[in-house]
Amino acid sequence: PYPIPSYSEGGYDLLVTSWNLPLMDWNPEGLFETESTVPFGDNFYQYSSQDFDLAFDNYMQSYDPVARKSYAEEMQEILYNDLPQITIFYDQLCYPHDLNFDTNSWDEILWGNDDQSMENWSIPAQTEFHYAMPYGFSDFHIYTYSSSLAGRWLHQIYDGLAARNPLSPYNRAYTPNLAVLYTSLDGLTYNVLMNPIAKFADGHVLNASDVEYSYQLIIDSDLDAEDLWYWDNHVAVDSVTIIDEFEVDITFKTAYAFQDSILRLPIMPKHIWEGVSPQNHESQAGTWASTNPSKIMGAGPYYLYDYDTDTTLFIHLKRNDYYDDWSGVTPYFEDVYFRLYSSAQTALSAIVSGTIDMADGFYDFETNDLPGTVGYSLIGDGTLQELAINNNHPYLGTGELCPIAGAESAKHVRKAISHIIPRQQIIDNIMNGSGRLGVTACPSISYGFDESLEPHEFSIDLAKAEMEAAGFCYTDCTTTTEGFSLSLPLIFGITIFTTCMILLINKKKRKK
């Protein structure tokens, strides 16, 4: 029934659930706006705030990443104070690596989300880099790959007009890459000035015809790109208008707050692929990988040099000698190998022996299993675990049954619950150290994540103070509430038991 009632009436009070939001542009559309309250959207929290609605509208209508970041922080502050849901922790994956790996040479969040090339990675006095993966060796086309691990190495080969910039002050916002400048007056049509000295790995000049070809190819149904639905929502066959050899206008179908992300499309070399029909692209890529691997190349820092299936399965990438001409960066490693290791134990042993420099987080390593001779980095994957709250509940939402009746009292109760969630203990004892303390519904990997907001401290005293602010009494006093059934021990017991048990079940599932 709608609105969703409390548990005693067939609905829910508290719900432990999780969200996987791997996109680095936070898009909470449908979750918290008043107009998206169920059954009209996914706002099953039944949360309503005019302040949030206004900040959300501004966020979704802003094409300036700096302004959008400001609105993102405003939304997070509102959610932090209102607590329509309580974020317990953000999931993280453990990436073991050589102790000598320069962790300042990469952006771990971009890497963990298939959005970083490796030109700056470095290990002193080393010209090769070896990376272990449990799978990801059967996809060879940048537009059709389905395995995120295949994306790790494919994104070393291809570049787009725009790319996420990890450096300050951009903080992973998109900036020009193969483009030297892009501008838009209306958020629909972007004028793009391309880098005239950009070349593919075979020395062929990258120009406007390659851009036009790529944007037409990605929406060709015969190609059947992995995210065809997404690209088809934004790009049309005639979206790209060639102005001259190094200038294009790109007109998208609809206004979109994250339009610059569509400029990230990896640019394919038209002179290599135009003779291959779209329906044959994927199979041709696989054939070339085995018989003529240098055909798998773009304008990125590396190109495919060898694909070995005879002995031990590996992908061998070679440095693109034309990359530094337009980027100004000479990739540190001459050769990069992505190698198959079927188990976490064999991959870890290879790091210890020095055969491998880094292993992927998809092995599901646990930090307490790593020897002291191995370094590691914890990287968020966009998943968060939360305690959803029914904001129509008479104690937790409307506060109408609290001793001091009203919405502010319900907010105090929600904060009390947040203060009695032992986030660090859950991360340490259930997630074996792989997690980050939860703050708001914005994933910690997202552009605009507000680092200034602190997780609620685990404190019984603070929880009591919040409950007392709602009119409840935990010392000798005369205040009573007839029929009162909400107590701090009850909240504590329900919250901790439910949270720990469900997370424990989830953890066991991950280990299988």
Query: Taken in order 431, 436, 441, 444, is the CA torsion positive or negative?
Result: negative
Angstrom distance (rounded) from CA 46 to CA 391: 5
Angstrom distance (rounded) from CA 237 to CA 229: 14
Is 301 within 8 Å of 333 (Cβ atoms)? no
Q: What is the dihedral of CA 47, 49, 53, 56, to 10 degrees?
A: -70
The maximal CA–CA distance of the chain, rounded, in angstroms, is 85
Angstrom distance (rounded) from CA 292 to CA 306: 9
Tell me, what's the pLDDT at 164? 94
Angle at 93 between CA 91 and CA 99, to 5 degrees: 140
Closest of 112, 131, 117, 56 to residue 383, by C-alpha: 112
Tell me, what's the pLDDT at 499? 53
Angstrom distance (rounded) from CA 261 to CA 318: 27
Structure tokens at 125: 């006095």
List domains and CATH numbers for the chain. Answer: 7-91+380-470 (no CATH), 99-340 (3.40.190.10)
Length of the chain: 512
Is 389 within 8 Å of 85 (Cβ atoms)? yes
Reduced 3-state DSSP string for 384-400: EEEEEECCCCCCCCCCC
Tell me, what's the pLDDT at 148? 87
Tell me, what's the pLDDT at 511? 43
| CB atoms closer than 10 angstroms to residue 258 | 18
Tell me, what's the pLDDT at 51? 98
Is 372 within 8 Å of 378 (Cβ atoms)? no
- In angstroms, how far is CA 365 from the centroid of its own chain? 19
- In angstroms, how far is CA 408 from the centroid of its own chain? 33
First to last CA, the chain: 37
Structure tokens at 238: 């005639």
Tell me, what's the pLDDT at 114? 84
Task: Going residue by residue through the chain, which has 512 residues, state the pLDDT in tens, using 9 for 90 and above.
Answer: 789 999 889 999 999 899 988 678 999 999 999 999 999 999 999 999 999 999 999 999 998 888 999 999 999 999 999 999 999 999 999 999 999 999 999 999 999 988 899 999 999 999 999 999 999 899 999 999 998 899 999 999 999 999 999 988 888 999 999 999 999 998 899 999 999 999 999 999 999 999 999 999 999 999 999 999 999 999 999 999 999 999 999 999 998 889 999 999 999 999 999 999 999 999 999 999 999 999 999 999 999 999 988 767 899 999 999 999 999 999 999 999 999 999 999 999 999 999 999 999 999 999 988 999 999 999 998 999 999 999 999 999 999 999 999 999 999 999 999 999 999 999 998 888 899 999 999 999 999 999 999 999 999 999 999 999 999 987 655 444 443 445 555 555 555 555 554 455 455 445 44
Tally DSSP H helices, then E strands, for the chain: 14, 15
Tell me, what's the pLDDT at 488? 54
